[in-house]
Structure 1
């Protein structure tokens, strides 16, 4: 039929479902005052001409709304009389009205969701703000910021989150490590899963109580140790009294200790840093003059921008040949200005193609700091079906000479690495 289509009961439910998704947080904040209720939706009833063209369809539509107005559903259907030439007088549905958000939730299959969210906002507003309108609005806004987490959180974990928030509000600068916090059930994994929920609701509570701190948990971060291999024997630390030749090759230290390893102008000092993504490959690296190697540890490569002695040294990055590997490389270049990749090229991919496996994360989005050759390799991984080549699978007789050559090249170009310490025929340290 021409003109605006008549809205069926199902179409009105679908329209209300969209309004619920978009408006639930606003409705939670205003529950009790409800300034914009009831909501009225026009049904676009047919004209006389439409009724004459298709009387069976119009009659079916009217019948559907008569059934929908039986009193079992929480809406009110308004009918008006129409005098249609040739069809006589008809009572025609013209609009439907809904009185409150909970009715919309019931009509759209979201009643359980509404009761959960509304109950939690009620509880927070009562606990933190004596049920004032301002408290309800602040709590509803906070819940809206972490809506998915609130919905996912069961009663036990939501109660635990509130106990954690109470404790942190009372101890804003505890300086404790996470596992020291005396709240039952709160451990590292729990807070990792619920951190956004806790921080957002904590900020709301502090705002209502005029407390400082915002989202800050007030905890002391446990520094993550990082594996470092000192490939140059001359650079290896040795404790007082240790005999010569007993210097430490493999260190496991936190970032603060790593940052203090070499001060500006100290000699001897490293000339090249190799960042190796996987620990087993890191432990397999051979001795190289002037070189230290650091475990990359995934996306936590921002540490490379926080090492004073490394800011002007060239970095060689050896990561997995996959989308994550290139994303990490891109991220590292954000934190350090001189990063060269190695063994992340099409030649390495071609040589080891039979060892590739499906990449569980085949898309890494747009990267802006890759070279043309790196981008070509990244595209080749996608073109071959979204595969990845793990760093450890690369044959060592292929990996070692390419790694040594990359170290020599970047050291020579930076003027910091003494390439004359290598025998070109064997590529071994003399």
Structure 2
């Protein structure tokens, strides 16, 4: 026999579709609850107890809630008994009072009315996301202020906290998820659809990642940077650099970047701190396409996975000092970080073979452990 709690659980599952019908102005229709459990057959007292439980929470006893319809049925073990053949809510008031959602729905109706009056084009979003309307119930006035501003200024080119909107300074940051969904609809013609970062997507300024690099050719550092050879600039500025270089060395770790100036003189070359998987910040540096690109990372699974990632942006990248000879010469039995990546990597056959060895044995050789003398000799002959 179905229990009152099971009836409530099933009624809760009907709640979302009820809210959707309110947005669509569909009149309330009877909500049926399927009573799909059979009666307990062990004894008449147990059967009567089950019946009394569901009756005790019904509209008949409480004045609201679900209605029960009974029918005399000849049972196999208990003879002729009155069994509930239908459980339903025949009006909105009974349904909402049973769920304890009356006040919530009143606020929902006010919110959806206000949203639709301001932006009728959000109707389909409301139908698909009624629970998000409720989850943001206390914030809709401010959310709509933000949306109005972007509707009138789809390309603000300001920092989030500079926006002239009368909301709390951190409001937009805290409510980005729902605002993003709405702006995707309201200003779809102006967004950068492929950008995931909120600020980039909606034409805002943001604290850009810094690209740190060292100029390994003193002639270039003197000519373009007043002799400064250790430089960090925003990624957008780095993307527009115009230097007379022919080669770029990307190193995984900061310590290795510090030591690159001890390398043999490298004409027309800069070294970049890739900062591990943050090499994705370099993916739009299209002037790399015509340069010789070298990647020097740790000899571990992550090092080769970062190399693989970098090659998705720049397929002509060549790895350096990431080979079996360097590994065998300097390996000190260090453990790596286990990985469970099974996708095909952008590695050469030799790199893939070493990657599998490192992965199987969980080995690591950090690039800092390769001696400067060894690195110097390598680059002196490169």
- So what's the TM-score if we normalise by structure 2? 0.71
Specify every segment of 5 or more residues in structure 1 that has no aligned partner in the other structure, as ranges.
Answer: 1-5, 409-418, 425-430
1:38 pairs with one of 16, 20, 30:
30
Q: Mark the CA change 1:77 to 1:340 in structure 2 (over 3 Å): closer, same or farther.
A: farther
Aligned equivalent of 1:9, options 1, 4, 10: 4
The match for 2:149 among 167, 171, 179 is 167
**Corresponding residue for residue 282 of structure 1:** 257
Residues 308 and 194 of structure 1: is their aligned pair in 2 closer, same or farther, counting only changes over 3 Å?
Answer: same
Residues 190-229 of structure 1: pairs in structure 2 closer than 5 A = 191-205=172-186, 213=190, 217-220=202-205, 223-229=208-214
For 2:282, what is the secondary structure of its paired residue?
helix
Deviations 1:87-126 (CA, angstroms, capped at 9, x unpaired): 45422122321357897787678x49x928x735742542
CA contact (8 A) 1:139 1:204 kept: no
Q: Whole-Å Cα distance in 1 between the matches of residues 158 and 272 of structure 2?
A: 29
Deviation at residue 29 of structure 1 after TM alignment: 3.1
1:141 aligns with 2:128: yes
Q: Report the counterpart of residue 416 of structure 1 in structure 2.
A: none
Secondary structure of 1:92's partner?
strand
> Which residue in 2 is equivalent to 1:307?
285
Aligned-residue offset at 1:150: 7.3
Are residue 78 (structure 1) and residue 65 (structure 2) matched? no
Secondary structure in 1 aligned to 2:73?
strand
Q: CA distance change for structure 1 residues 353 and 363 in 2, over 3 Å: closer, same or farther?
A: closer
How far apart are residue 192 of structure 1 and its match? 4.8
Specify the SS of the correspondent of 2:175.
helix
Normalising by structure 1, we get a TM-score of 0.64
2: CA distance between counterparts of 1:197 and 1:218?
A: 17
Residues 1:334 and 2:312 aligned together = yes
**Is 1:29–1:137's contact at 8 Å kept on the other side of the alignment?**
no
Across the aligned residues of Structure 1 and Structure 2, the Cα RMSD in angstroms comes to 4.6
Number of aligned residues: 360
| Aligned twin of 1:414 | none
Q: Is the 8 A contact 1:125 1:135 kept in 2?
A: no
Q: SS at the partner of 2:223?
A: coil
Of 361, 386, 398, which aligns to 2:370? 398
Which of 394-403 and 7-16 deviates more? 394-403
Change (3 A) 1:80 1:169: same
Q: Cα–Cα, structure 1 residues 396 and 90, in superposed 2: closer, same or farther, change >3 Å?
A: closer
The residue aligned with 2:169 is: 186
Unaligned runs of 5+ in 2: 194-200
Q: For the Cα contact (< 8 Å) 1:323–1:378, is it kept in 2?
A: yes
Cα gap change, 1:368 to 1:186, in 2 (>3 Å): farther
For residues 62 and 224 of structure 2, what CA distance do their matches in structure 1 show? 85
